[in-house]
Structure 1
């Protein structure tokens, strides 16, 4: 029997591919700019984070796991064609967030970070964890629309793991005030992203129905 032809990628698929490719590019750039101290003990930043080195490594590995698993969770092809893999990756994502978020809060309120962002770090790590747990609870209760909304919120906080360090690619130093404003802005974006995406999708479907009716 001939295999079924794969449908061509839609505009929405290409939008997703472009977005995740951009995130991957940002991650590699941030890794090169910010994390070279892991491989260069003479780097001044390596001495600065020495007391938190093990915790930072654990947090980073769990954050990378959440970023990778979360990206796969956003794939509609995996969700519809390989539900078992989708569920397994979801469990990996939830576990990674549950391990990484408390460590992020602990580090974020310590001496490693400026006092101006201590409160923000509690909200960032706490909301990341809460959104993931609510998404998991909704999935257990088969509330799939709510599950998707809360997963997108949680994934938005996962992206802060990368996006908050993108300015480091372009400038070597900025004020604590700029850092605080940027992080709070990313929190707001993570919270409103599901509503923005759902509204855009609803508008697109309504427009398509209107055109068909006309």
Structure 2
């Protein structure tokens, strides 16, 4: 007879909560829609003159790679919202898996294109390094999340996917940080930047691209630790301990 004492304990699925019990999901989707409606349309014309980033002279690959990166990033940000939506994840598991695969296999080319675009930034070396570190971590976190899902290690999958989501949203949050950074630095352009406004703007951009992913990753890990079930809570729920499984 096969013993089931050592089988991993299974916990009953958590009931789905109505969207209004998760008040952050609607503002999140609204913020993503607002950011995309502002950022994406100039690239739908496929005209380099409408680009928010000036292509480097003589680089014919930059603009098509930039357009592809923007369009792929749009898919990433949209599908990521469904990945972190608890009600959708619980009620529509097949939809969660489909959007998850779309997200993962869109992140890969989007991150690689981001590395190329980031290398040719005109905002200075600090922004260039941030633009290389960010897509690299985004790619690694996403691949780690995918591997955990394939191995059915769903708790670890959720943690890595949450970090990947944080980096996906960091581009939008960096734009928010740039506003107070510009407000604070503008009066100091003569004192701190020798009257060089371009240097001041590059510094503000650098603050945004470094601080945005850092704050979002710290906040994400704080939430993950806060929501981690405590040993006492697991025992109260009837989950067998290591000693009881022997």
Partners of 2:48 and 2:70 in 1: how far apart? 21
Partners of 1:119 and 1:199 in 2: how far apart? 29
Offset at residue 61 of structure 1 (A): 0.9
SS at match of 1:48: coil
1:66-93 Cα deviation digits (max 9, x unpaired):
1111111112222112211111111110
1:151-202 Cα deviation digits (max 9, x unpaired):
111011111232233467897x752122112211112123223322224435
Is 1:36 matched with 2:45? no
**How many residues are aligned here?**
197
Residue matched to 1:48: 54
Is 1:116 matched with 2:122? no
What TM-score, normalized by structure 2, do the two folds share?
Answer: 0.68
Q: Which runs of 5+ in 2 are unaligned?
A: 1-15, 183-197, 233-246
Is 1:63 matched with 2:69? no
Is 1:15 matched with 2:24? yes
Query: Who wins on radius of gyration, i.e. which is larger?
Result: 2
1:134 aligned to 144, 149, 167, which one? 144
Describe the shift of the 1:94–1:186 C-alpha distance in structure 2 as closer, same or farther (beyond 3 A): same
Q: Which runs of 5+ in 1 are unaligned?
A: 1-5, 207-214
1:190 aligned to 209, 216, 219, which one? 216
What TM-score, normalized by structure 1, do the two folds share?
Answer: 0.77
1:177 aligned to 203, 207, 215, which one? 203
**Superposed CA RMSD:** 3.3
SS at match of 1:142: coil
* Structure 1, 39-48 or 178-187: larger mean CA deviation: 39-48
1:114-157 Cα deviation digits (max 9, x unpaired):
33311111110100000100100111111111111111110111
